[in-house]
Amino acid sequence: MDKVFIEGLEIEALIGIYDWERRIRQSLVFDVEMAFDNRKPAASDAIEDTLNYKDVSKRLIDFVSQSDFGLVETLAERCAALILDEFGVQEVRLKLSKPGAVRGARAVGVIIERSRS
């Protein structure tokens, strides 16, 4: 299966379980791979036949910037479900990074893979 990807999408969000985290917005970084058959858009050369990564990015930015979750695990699950439900992809692999959350580490986070059941 072909993949459409978004790499390094930075979104400011309210995320975390500690009191100090609940008072600030933090930068999160998303890497997303979505299974999508690219043969139709390749043949038609028409944007309406694609999985439009700009539309997916805008939707994630809107959702994440308005979210208020404690755990990155919860946010990752909700984002994966949103992509599967709203964009009709069969599978999604989502990496959500929280830069600077642990001293000495560039980033921490989760990687999840979900598919339509």
Q: Which residues are catalytic?
A: 98
Written as six digits, the tokens of 72 are 């990155």
Of 20, 82, 28, nearest to 55 by C-alpha is 82
In one-letter notation, the amino acid at residue 16 is G
CB 6, CB 32: distance < 8 Å: yes
